[in-house]
Amino acid sequence: MALPGLTREQMIEVDRIMMENLNIPIELMMEHAGLALARLASDLTGNKTKTIHVVVGSGNNGGGGLVAARRLKAWNQDVMVLIPRGIESLRPIPRKQLERILGMGISVSEKLPDALSSDITVLDAYLGYGYSERQDPITDDVFEFLSNNQSVVSLDVPSGLDSNTGQCVSAFKPQATLTIAFPKVGLLFADKSQIGDLYVCDIGVPISVFETQLGIKWSNLYSLDVLSNLYLEFELSQIVKAIPVYHDEKRKIGWAPRHYRNQ
């Protein structure tokens, strides 16, 4: 038994339910996601990393990266924020997050550095689950930058990976991906090298949304018991590791939750 992956359209519906039906604003969910990204980055790097660079896009995924930068700075981590599309590209809610990090004295650059030393970790908060392939020279530069760094942790989906199909136009290999609320179906189809270790973070979506409101068939391959296990793990930690489940040796059908600090 396993958890399925959500499609892009199902994740849009999750966001709609949270904002319109439950009156939970995107900014609050962004705070949860950014805090989880900061915690995972801190856990994965330990004392090895002297500096963390956060690559920020113009949308809500970028806003999550800005939250992570603020939290890491509060923990006395050396942080640099990179906004390759420029500060003016930021949407209103990420712009508020930018104002907060500027108030903390975090350095911000609109240019990508030419090279990074091996003791720097990069947080990829450039593109989220809404990405679809398009021609864009700035995005191409971001992909190249991420490809040139060995320690990358991606938020929600690795930038350049289609959350529905798993097709990936970027060539970088993240150390880990922290997906938000629930694994995306494209992560099932992608090669492990394109996502690294997969984690899922709790942003406060009630279990009932996944049980009854998204049309998931909780039978045969997918079980409500596994969903309950995910939420039991969320009680222990905001971050849960997602272990792939296979129908046979080759075909991945879903994920099973596991408390990652016990690995």
Percent of the chain clearing pLDDT 70 (strictly above): 96
CATH number of 8-262: 3.40.50.10260
Query: Residues 6 or more apart from 84 whose CB is under 8 A from it?
Result: 55, 110, 111, 112, 126, 138, 141, 142, 145
Measured on CA atoms in the order 227, 233, 239, 241, is the torsion positive or negative? negative
pLDDT reported for residue 260:
66
- Tokens found for residue 218: 């909780």
d(CA 24, CA 119): 38
- Say whether pLDDT at 263 is over 50: no
pLDDT higher than 70, residue 121: yes
Going by pLDDT thresholds of 50, 70 and 90, the confidence category of residue 77 is: very high
Q: What is the pLDDT of residues 8-36, one digit of tens each?
A: 999 999 999 999 999 999 999 999 999 99
For residue 248, what pLDDT is reported? 77
pLDDT at 95 over 50: yes
CA distance 117 to 77: 16
The yes-or-no verdict on residue 262 having pLDDT over 50 is no
Where residue 123 falls (left for φ over 0; alpha for ψ -120 to 50; beta otherwise) is: beta
Q: Looking at the predicted structure, is the pLDDT value of residue 53 above 80?
A: yes
Position 49 pLDDT exceeds 90: no
pLDDT more than 90, % of the chain: 83
Q: Which two tokens stand for residue 59?
A: 């949308």
Alpha carbon distance 89, 154 (integer Å): 21
What whole-number distance in Å separates Cα of residue 116 and Cα of residue 51? Answer: 10
Question: What's this model's pTM, rounded to 2 decimal places?
Answer: 0.95
Residues whose CB falls within 8 Å of the CB of residue 208, separated by 6 or more in sequence, listed in order: none
Under 8 Å between Cβ of 107 and 81: yes
